[in-house]
Amino acid sequence: MNIVKNKFTKIFKELREERGLTKTALAKELGFSHVTLVNWEKGNRTPDVDTMIVIANYFKVTLDFLCGLTDT
């Protein structure tokens, strides 16, 4: 599980930065707290499956991509 967690952390941050979003702005868009996003990006916490679906839909990527299981 740590491999997926580490890949999620990296991919999530890259997606946010590619869109030019601050953690605060993305947190507001997704309906989560700034602290929650900081914890995701630092790898302190991992979102549950339902939240991962929300994130994947927001960025228009698959769950496989978000978890680092595929490159596309």
We report the CATH number of the domain holding residue 57 as 1.10.260.40
- Predicted local distance difference test score (pLDDT) of residue 4: 73
Q: Please report whether residue 71 resides in a domain.
A: no
Please indicate, yes or no, if residue 72 is contained in any of the structural domains. Answer: no
pLDDT tens-digit series, residues 30-64: 999 999 999 999 999 999 999 999 999 999 999 99
- Closest C-alpha to 16, from 2, 37, 31: 37
The pTM score is: 0.90
pLDDT number for residue 6: 87
Q: What is the mean pLDDT of the chain?
A: 93
Q: How many distinct structural domains can be found in the chain?
A: 1
Buried b (16+ CB within 10 A) or exposed e, 57-68: eebeeeeebbbb
pLDDT at 1 over 70: no
13 inside domain: yes
- Domain hosting 45: range is 2-66
